A and B are shown apart, each in its own frame.
Chain A
């Protein structure tokens, strides 16, 4: 039962995550995926190290939000294909796209982690 609830939650949240990413990339053709990926890295780290660690939401809700919404909001496949496409037109654009995504993604995850740990301490004290 818990299993089914988690699967349903992942599916429904993923619907909205995928739609949000698609809207964002229609609005910002190349940088939309970068924005989605960076924002998603920040939010997932915050969710993992604060909301899930503290058990703030029910399991099905945090699984839906993390694996479903944020997981579908961010994407690795479009990032990889876009990097190859850009490299065929302009090497420096491809390198910029790659570096902003990779370094930025990890930095945003670190930011989410640091904020999560701070929030966690405030709750305790």
Chain B
């Protein structure tokens, strides 16, 4: 449990760091979470594929770091904010890119 917790600390700090850069640069904030979730899904696929027998790597890197790095709640709260602002096209595009891209990249990670 300590291993998962420490991994999650690292993952969440990297996520916070990336989001802060996007905010400071005044880039579109949606792109930060999209980048985080897509890269995290791909990396978890890779990790699950290549370290299936290494429980320590799965717990630390997968459940901990990548679990803490990617986020489902921020993604949905951002979708909600887009609905609230009536930005329907952006909302649809963000939803499609996140789910389509995330699942496709996880699949790719599991294959290569």
Q: A and B: real partners?
A: yes
Q: Which of A11, A41, A43, A84 contacts B45 (CB 8 A)?
A: A84
The contact string, 1 if C-beta is below 8 Å from chain B, for chain A 82-125, is 01110000000000001001100110111001000000000000
The contact string, 1 if C-beta is below 8 Å from chain B, for chain A 26-42, is 00000000000100110
Given A14-B9, A17-B8, A67-B16, A77 and B66 contact (CB-CB distance below 8 Å): yes
* A contacts with B: majority SS: helix
Give the size range of B's interface with the partner.
35 or more
Q: Which of A21, A22, A77, A105 contacts B41 (CB 8 A)?
A: A77
> How far is A113 from B32 in the complex, measured between Cα atoms in Å?
22
Chain A residue numbers with a CB within 8 Å of B66 are 75, 77-78
* B contacts with A: majority SS: helix
Do B67 and A21 touch across chains, with their CB atoms under 8 A apart? yes
Name 27 A/B residue pairs within 8 A (Cβ), A-sorted.
Answer: A7-B17, A14-B12, A22-B67, A41-B72, A41-B76, A70-B73, A71-B15, A71-B73, A72-B8, A72-B11, A72-B71, A75-B71, A76-B37, A77-B41, A77-B69, A78-B70, A79-B72, A79-B102, A80-B44, A80-B102, A80-B105, A83-B103, A84-B106, A84-B107, A106-B80, A109-B80, A110-B83
Do A84 and B103 touch across chains, with their CB atoms under 8 A apart? yes
Q: Which residues of B contact A (CB under 8 A)?
A: 1, 4-9, 11-13, 15-17, 19, 36-37, 40-41, 43-45, 48, 59, 62-64, 66-77, 79-80, 83-84, 95, 98-99, 102-103, 105-107, 109-110
